[in-house]
Amino acid sequence: MGEIRYEISPGGTLSGRVRVPGDKSVSHRSIMLGSIAEGVTEVSGFLEGEDALATMNVFRAMGVPIDGPHEGRVTVHGVGMHGLRAPAGPLDCGNSGTSMRLLSGLLSAQPFATELTGDASLCSRPMRRVSQPLSLMGARIDTAEGGRPPLRIQGGGGLHGIDYDMPVASAQVKSALLLAGLYASGRTCVSEPAPTRDHTERMLQAFGYAVERFPGRACVAGGGRLRGTRIEVPADLSSAAFFLVGASIAPGSDLVLEQVGINPTRNGVIEILRLMGADITLSNERSVGAEPVADLRVRSAPLRGIVIPEALVPLAIDEFPALFVAAANAEGETVLTGAEELRVKESDRIAVMADGLIALGVDAVPTPDGIRIRGGTYGGGGIRSHGDHRIAMSFSMAALRAQAPITVRDCANVATSFPGFAELAARAGLGLRALA
């Protein structure tokens, strides 16, 4: 992807009604489960971002007929649990860790060998957290040096169920094991030390597959079938988070975000912002398919620094770059601990956010598992996003309270999760120009 930079004028307010793109986690899973289901799955609201499209292309390469996407509509002609075919070459997951980790579970159970690869960023991310527990089920996965991609999955070995206690809370690891468990003999149970997003469990049930659920634990028995269904993808709370923060910090803002997924395993960003004093109200709450949604109204409010409860960290892990910008505009100090996971995302999000905040003049001190940020006024300047979509969007919103323009470099990867971000943000009132 070529160099794209954002130039953002300081100040402004956010107002009106916006619909952010579809939920990335739900979009990925709709393709994966629809592909191995029997019959047709109709998806609406599908996120046409590069990560979700990478998942789609992987299944097309394994012989699954998929129509679309066209204006968020996708039709998956499922091939059944045993209908996938060996691909002609390596499967490219692009920038998507979700694709690679979930596919590693699903592909471990196939009778053919596969190789999963991706871009330079993805190939630097740790994969032992999925390959090791999958190997306990009988999977044969070889990684590159340091447990990193590409992953070579031998397949054909036959899997058996395990009872696994995850050392670190991770929805991707949990999902990989449950997907492998669909094919394994016996029961596969996964216990988590803290709640993580439960989209896989909800969607399996929507496809008619029995999932036993207990607090902090989920189990599946192998040998069942999935039936094609209709999936309506809610708007992505992770994408909405940038606008929740922007409207909270920009004086005079009053913004409604429509039909946003408010899954209780994902809504930590709303709880943390409310603890900081944000004015966020939910209306029109309803269930769309297997997922709860609501319209979110956010009005500007004075924020205060807090010690972020560690129990909320797994429920907001992808939203912390945006929350750091909220902290930079809060009165007093915000302290985050227990978030080591942020160091192995698309970038080291603790280090990259700290560097950017310091470059603007914010008092920010990174720690091994978090950060300390003291709010106050800050200037403008140049920010390197390190190709990380969430870094780029977070610093774009920071301009709403900056004293001078902000330029964010290396923004092409925003398209992985939020195609059309620059246009939507500008329409809501952010003074943003995207320049190639």
Q: How many CB atoms lie within 10 A of CB 416?
A: 26
Decide if pLDDT at 347 tops 70. yes
- Euclidean distance between CA atoms 425 and 403, whole angstroms: 19
- Euclidean distance between CA atoms 373 and 364, whole angstroms: 4
pLDDT in tens, 213-254: 999 999 999 999 999 999 999 999 999 999 999 999 999 999
- CB neighbours of 326 closer than 8 A, spacing ≥ 6? 245, 248, 249, 273, 276, 278, 303, 334
* Contact status, residue 170 vs residue 105, Cβ threshold 8 Å: no
Domains 5-22+234-435 and 24-232 are alike in CATH topology: yes
pLDDT at res. 63 = 98
Overall fold of domain 24-232 = UDP-n-acetylglucosamine1-carboxyvinyl-transferase; Chain (3.65.10)
Provide the whole-model pTM: 0.87
What's the average model confidence in pLDDT over 313-342?
96
Q: Please, where are the H alpha helices in 278-348?
A: 320-328
Region for residue 418 given its phi and psi (left: phi exceeds 0; alpha: psi -120 to 50; beta: otherwise): beta
pLDDT at res. 244 = 98
Domains of the chain, residue spans: 5-22+234-435, 24-232
Report the percent of the chain where pLDDT is more than 70: 100
The CATH code of the domain at 5-22+234-435 is 3.65.10.10
Report the percent of the chain where pLDDT is more than 90: 92
Active-site option among 295, 318, 388, 410: 318
Strands (DSSP E) found in 192-246? 212-214, 217-221, 230-232
Type of residue found at 416:
T
- CA dihedral (204, 206, 207, 212) in degrees, to 10, reads 40
Decide if pLDDT at 344 tops 90. no
- Euclidean distance between CA atoms 220 and 136, whole angstroms: 16
Question: What is the pairing mode between strands 38-44 and 230-232?
Answer: parallel
Helix axes 389-398, 349-360, angle to 10 degrees: 30
Nearest CA to 51 among 111, 106, 149, 119? Answer: 119
Q: Is 318 a catalytic residue?
A: yes
What's the average model confidence in pLDDT over 54-65?
98
- Euclidean distance between CA atoms 26 and 5, whole angstroms: 29
pLDDT at res. 157 = 82
pLDDT in tens, 13-31: 999 999 999 999 999 999 9
Nearest CA to 151 among 122, 172, 174? Answer: 122
Decide if pLDDT at 1 tops 60. no
* pLDDT band per the 50, 70, 90 thresholds, residue 2: low
pLDDT at res. 231 = 95
Nearest CA to 4 among 429, 328, 423, 401? Answer: 423
pLDDT at res. 186 = 98
pLDDT in tens, 128-137: 999 999 999 9
Strands (DSSP E) found in 107-241? 114-117, 141-144, 148-153, 163-165, 187-191, 212-214, 217-221, 230-232
* Contact status, residue 22 vs residue 239, Cβ threshold 8 Å: no
Only one residue has tokens 């070459």, namely 89
Decide if pLDDT at 289 tops 80. no
pLDDT in tens, 110-151: 999 999 999 998 999 989 999 999 999 999 999 999 999 999
